[in-house]
Amino acid sequence: MKTFLLFWAGALAAFPAAAQTIQSEEHAFRVVTLVRGLEQPWSLAFLPDGRMLVTEKAGRLRIVKDGKLDAQSVAGLPEVTVHGQGGLMDVALHPGFSKNRLVYISYAARGADGVGTEVARGRLTGHRLDDVQVIFRQSPKGNRGQHFGSRMVFDRQGYLYITLGDRGEMERAQRPDDHAGSVIRLHDDGRVPKDNPFVGKPGWKPDKYTLGNRNQQGAALHPRTGVLWTHEHGPQGGDEVNVIRAGANYGWPVITYGVNYGIGTKIGEGTAKPGMEQPIHKWVPSIAPSGMAFYTGDKFPKWRGDLFVGALRAELLVRLRLDGEKVLREERLLQGAVGRIRDVRAGPDGLIYLLTDESRAVLARLEPAG
């Protein structure tokens, strides 16, 4: 760990000078642009040597070193299908990456029944992924271009969680034999854990862990409890933050705080129903959340334990102050300052990293001011 932090400390000196100081409720900070010219980046992961991996929707896995974007992309990825909102999406490291070098990617892929989310893993060697294996294929796929998910998170026991959207066909989120609109839980090699909630239940996909989710594009482990939290897009309003529990039904499209696009009419049966989970926080109107991270570093001590959420439509960064599973307050930061925020990550250096979602996007970092 000490070597890891030394690499990061060395990298700090190479980054450009900071810009305007912003005063939040708790801290003064600056937004420093590290890399420009990314093409619709979706996710980033921190390598132990101080480099970063960044995905671009078009199917490129890029390396950032010492604040510079490597011109050579990582080779060896499976074929990525760019279809509507789908393409190359999340990237995550195996918990034992320092020994096994395993990198996981989620992406849209074409099959006989359309396009759907898949997850593959491979060993990072230089600028290449070797021994690539597909460990998850969404089934059935579909022809629409919306709601692929998908974030990946490893928990403290080494289980892999994959968040999926309803693929723009809302009724699929309630089907037991459909991956769409679910959280998936797997062993690191794609095997289904025997204690998954629907294992052995006739008609159910055994790798499903939840159902009733619309389109989850943020996921993170709570730093104290180790429980998975996600957020998901609502329709016109009704974006949600949820605490993920085995076998739980999160209601979509039976219950929602959103309404039909444009016409504003009711969806489903209302906002609550017995046997269906309530969000711990919601946004009406929608902010279009994407990317999520708990802050546990020491550079912003008054933010420790807070949850940070990026927003696409609202072009802002949301800070949620928590008390257990209760949201005490919300602060909105950077509104319109950096653009559509696609991903939010807490770095091993105690700083907060952002990716924007444009054709000429940036990787930026929040640093303390003063």
The one-letter amino acid code at 243 reads V
Length of the chain in residues, anyone?
Answer: 370
CA distance 82 to 88: 8
For range 206-218, the mean pLDDT:
98
The one-letter amino acid code at 126 reads G
CA distance 316 to 228: 23
Question: The tokens of 303 are what?
Answer: 């933010």
Helix, strand, coil in percent for the chain, rounding step 5: 5, 45, 50
| 147 classed as catalytic | yes
Average pLDDT, the chain: 94
* 222 and 229 Cβ atoms separated by less than 8 Å: yes
What digits encode the pLDDT tens for the residues 36-84? 999 999 999 999 999 999 999 999 999 999 989 999 999 999 999 999 9
What digits encode the pLDDT tens for the residues 228-264? 999 999 999 999 999 999 999 999 999 999 999 888 8
* 320 and 299 Cβ atoms separated by less than 8 Å: no
Q: Residue 51: which of 32, 33, 34, 31 has the closest Cα?
A: 34
Q: Which CATH number fits domain 2-368: 3.30.70.3420, 2.120.10.30, 1.10.10.10, 3.30.505.10?
A: 2.120.10.30
**Of 147, 231, 233, 281, which residue is the catalytic one?**
147
Q: How confident is the model at residue 19 (pLDDT cuts 50, 70, 90)?
A: low
For residue 97, the SS3 value is: helix
**Res. 17: pLDDT tops 80:** no
Q: How buried is residue 140: exposed, middle or buried, by Cβ count under 10 Å (0-12/13-18/19+)?
A: middle
Question: The tokens of 31 are what?
Answer: 């937004």
The residue behind tokens 């992924």 is: 129
CA distance 112 to 122: 24
For range 96-109, the mean pLDDT:
98
Q: Any idea what DSSP says for residue 318?
A: E
For residue 166, the SS3 value is: coil
**Res. 2: pLDDT tops 80:** no
